[in-house]
């Protein structure tokens, strides 16, 4: 049995007409000899009736700090509603289907509400359904803990569900359907000449995803990479092969091609970032401000990024959603954090940039030419980040894309 996992995002499932297009894609897969397992997100985006953000806002109207367990129960409803509708629509169109929740699909997680990690998958029930000729529709984003509690997998959780099922079922491919053609060299909504990448390796796409590219969640890439299961990032609305993700590219009657690292793969960004600066008290070495600050953030469940530690100053960033909580916690400790709102992180990503001189020079030159101030910078062996003002973000992405000539074929 050739199993194909197909994941569809909320924009692909927002109406009966769009779900009909999804049914056609699944029918084509069956005609090609695959046994499809379809993973669904909640329908639509914010303000849509059953979208995840809509449900979050609904409960926050009555409690600004929702109960984590109860919030997970509510949020799982979006995928459940969508999955039930799609299974019924497939069946009505002559393609027998069944719906399974995360628990029914055998997805077992840890007990971390809101951001659970999948511990293992028991795919027996899915296999039984496939052997009976059914298309299996699975609710993404959700699972069940060892103690029987419903959990959700956090942002991008449906991608993670698809990857975990693809690995557990030894799928031929994991297809991630979205509203863009595939992985681009930059966000096409910002950069008009952003170019589709026909193929990319796991390392490159993981770095792009971690630095803000939204086509697939990095946790899904890491799971697929464990068994080398290929992913295909495709558009629901275009008849295009999309982007092939693997460390190998197979072509008929040709030698196996190894997908090598590019010097610069793409430009990504993360908006709505807040920079926090805290002064260190050198006169009192026992105070250990850096240890105090980062311990406080960890205990408050606040993820920090873009960390700079200097003898007199600590600098780091948090998401806008966590900024006020971070500020309040720091003031409780007697500190006076300086909050710089309306920032954005722009990243130049390239898995082969290590040891290549001149990359940072080009970045600084490109931003200086556009009168864009760099608030903070950092790097790893695969990327260089710059913190800029939110108002300069789009201009910075375009400038860097042009500087590295990523729009050229």
Closest CA to 5 of 96, 154, 93, 126: 126
What was the pLDDT predicted at 56? 87
Query: How many CB atoms are closer than 10 A to CB 92?
Result: 10
Question: What's the CA gap between 102 and 315, in Å, rounded?
Answer: 40
The answer to whether 301 and 319 are in contact (CB under 8 A) is no
Q: Which two tokens stand for residue 395?
A: 């201009």
- Rounded to 10°, the helix 393-403/359-369 angle is 130
Question: What's the CA gap between 354 and 382, in Å, rounded?
Answer: 7
| Angle in degrees, CA 74, 111, 120, rounded to 5 | 105
Phi-psi region of 87 (alpha: psi -120 to 50; beta: other; left: phi over 0): alpha
- Check whether 249 has a pLDDT greater than 90: no
As a whole number, the mean pLDDT across the chain is 89
- Check whether 260 has a pLDDT greater than 80: no
Predicted TM-score (pTM) of the model is 0.80
Query: How many CB atoms are closer than 10 A to CB 232?
Result: 19
**Domain architecture of the chain: domains with CATH:** 2-258 (3.40.1160.10), 266-403 (3.30.2130.10)
Q: Which residues pair with 234 in a beta bridge?
A: 177
What was the pLDDT predicted at 282? 59
Span 262-280, pLDDT tens digits: 688 899 999 999 999 998 8
Closest CA to 351 of 231, 188, 191, 209: 209
Q: Which residues pair with 207 in a beta bridge?
A: none
Span 287-314, pLDDT tens digits: 578 889 999 999 998 999 989 988 889 9
The answer to whether 202 and 221 are in contact (CB under 8 A) is yes
- Check whether 102 has a pLDDT greater than 90: yes
- Check whether 252 has a pLDDT greater than 70: no
The answer to whether 216 and 242 are in contact (CB under 8 A) is no
* Percent of the chain whose predicted confidence (pLDDT) is above 70: 94
| Angle in degrees, CA 162, 166, 168, rounded to 5 | 115
Span 166-212, pLDDT tens digits: 999 999 999 999 888 888 889 888 898 989 988 888 888 887 887 77
Q: DSSP labels for 226-275? A: HHT--EEEEESSS----EEESSEE--TTSPPEE-PPPS--EEEEEEEEEE
């Amino acid at each position: 049995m050739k199993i194909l996992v197909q994941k569809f995002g909320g924009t692909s499932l927002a109406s009966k007409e769009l779900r009909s297009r999804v049914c056609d894609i699944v029918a084509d897969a069956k005609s090609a000899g695959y046994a499809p397992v379809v993973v669904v997100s909640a329908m639509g985006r914010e303000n849509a009736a059953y979208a995840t953000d809509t449900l979050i806002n609904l409960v926050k109207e009555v409690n600004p700090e929702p109960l984590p367990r109860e919030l997970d129960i509510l949020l799982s409803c979006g995928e459940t509603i969508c999955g039930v509708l799609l299974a019924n629509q497939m069946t009505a169109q002559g393609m027998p289907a069944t719906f399974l929740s995360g628990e029914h699909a055998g997805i077992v997680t840890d007990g971390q509400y809101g951001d659970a990690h999948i511990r293992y998958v028991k795919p027996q029930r899915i296999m039984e359904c496939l052997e009976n000729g059914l298309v299996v529709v699975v609710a993404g984003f959700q699972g069940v803990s060892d103690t029987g509690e419903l959990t959700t997998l956090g942002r991008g959780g449906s991608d993670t569900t698809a990857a975990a099922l693809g690995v557990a079922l030894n799928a031929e491919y994991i297809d991630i359907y979205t509203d863009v053609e595939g992985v681009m060299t930059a966000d096409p909504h910002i950069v008009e000449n952003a170019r589709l990448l026909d193929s990319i390796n796991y390392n490159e796409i993981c770095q792009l995803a971690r630095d803000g590219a939204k086509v697939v969640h990095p946790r899904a890439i890491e799971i697929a990479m464990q068994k080398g299961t290929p992913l295909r990032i495709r558009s629901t609305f275009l008849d295009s092969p999309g982007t092939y993700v693997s460390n190998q590219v197979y072509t008929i009657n040709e030698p196996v091609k190894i997908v090598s690292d590019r010097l610069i793969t793409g430009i990504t960004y993360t908006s709505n970032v807040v920079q926090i600066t805290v002064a260190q008290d050198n006169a009192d070495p026992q105070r250990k401000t850096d240890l105090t600050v980062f311990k406080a953030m960890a205990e408050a469940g606040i993820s920090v990024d873009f960390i700079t530690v200097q003898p007199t100053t600590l600098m780091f960033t948090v998401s806008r959603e966590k900024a006020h909580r971070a500020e309040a916690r720091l003031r409780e400790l007697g500190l006076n954090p300086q909050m710089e709102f309306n920032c954005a992180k722009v990243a130049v990503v390239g898995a082969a940039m290590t040891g290549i001189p001149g990359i940072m020079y080009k970045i600084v030159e490109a931003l200086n030419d556009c009168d864009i101030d760099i608030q903070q910078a950092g790097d790893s062996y695969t990327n260089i980040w710059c913190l800029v003002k939110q108002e300069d973000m789009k201009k910075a992405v375009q400038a860097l894309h042009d500087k590295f000539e990523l729009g050229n074929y």
